[in-house]
Amino acid sequence: MPVSYKPTFTGRFLFLKKLILLLFLTIFIKNDSLEILNMAEKITKVSKEALELIKKFEGFCAQPYLCPANVPTIGYGATFYEDGTKVKLDDPPITEERATQLLQSVLKTFEKHVDSYARDDITQYQFDALVCFAYNVGVGSLKSSTLLKLVNTNPSDPLIKNEFLKWNKAAGKVLKGLTTRRQAEAELYFKN
């Protein structure tokens, strides 16, 4: 005598759950809307490696000073505080710990801008390099750059390296420090 199979309530429920998931995925695949499935992979914060790279190139200065662009600066290249107040030359000195806190806080603005300007499928290294670049040259310069246009067209385009390297001048003069920084940013961008 053949044995008949009677599905239990749990078995029916699991089957129904799988069917609903399959229908859901089919609809999104059919509409080319897989973005919802990739949301968890979107990068919006710099890594510790990027933070250390910025600190290395900016250097720490406890006292406010005028940077090469004649802008009052403190800590690790900060030109303003968390509340948006601009750094002034008569501001009190800060500790290295305070400078790191200030950098992390100020970087949030740059992360938001890079996140809004760049495509959503860039890697952590690419995001890090763009934030490092923007922190140095400004978000406006990044937004209008050929570098960003190339990133948004094809993040793997080898010409992106050349675009980083073009940003090595201050007042029309090539600066060794900026050349070194742009090379490091380009290497970070293309790191695997």
Q: Does the active-site annotation cover 111?
A: no
Dihedral angle, C-alpha 49, 136, 109, 152, nearest 10 °:
-80
Tens digit of pLDDT at every position of the chain (192 positions):
555 545 555 455 445 455 455 445 455 554 444 444 444 479 999 999 999 999 999 999 999 999 878 899 999 999 999 999 999 999 999 999 999 999 999 999 999 999 999 999 999 999 999 999 999 999 999 999 999 999 999 999 999 999 999 999 988 999 999 999 999 999 999 998
CB 57 within 8 A of CB 136: yes
Q: Which helix (H) or strand (E) holds 52?
A: helix 48-58
Say what the pLDDT of residue 83 is.
Answer: 94
Give CA–CA dist 59/77, Å, rounded.
7
CATH topology of domain 42-189: Lysozyme (1.10.530)
Say what the pLDDT of residue 69 is.
Answer: 80
- Out of 58, 111, 163, 185, pick the active-site residue: 58
Query: How far is C-alpha 166 from the geometric centre of its chain's CA atoms?
Result: 20
Rounded (to 5) percent helix, strand, coil in the chain: 55, 10, 35
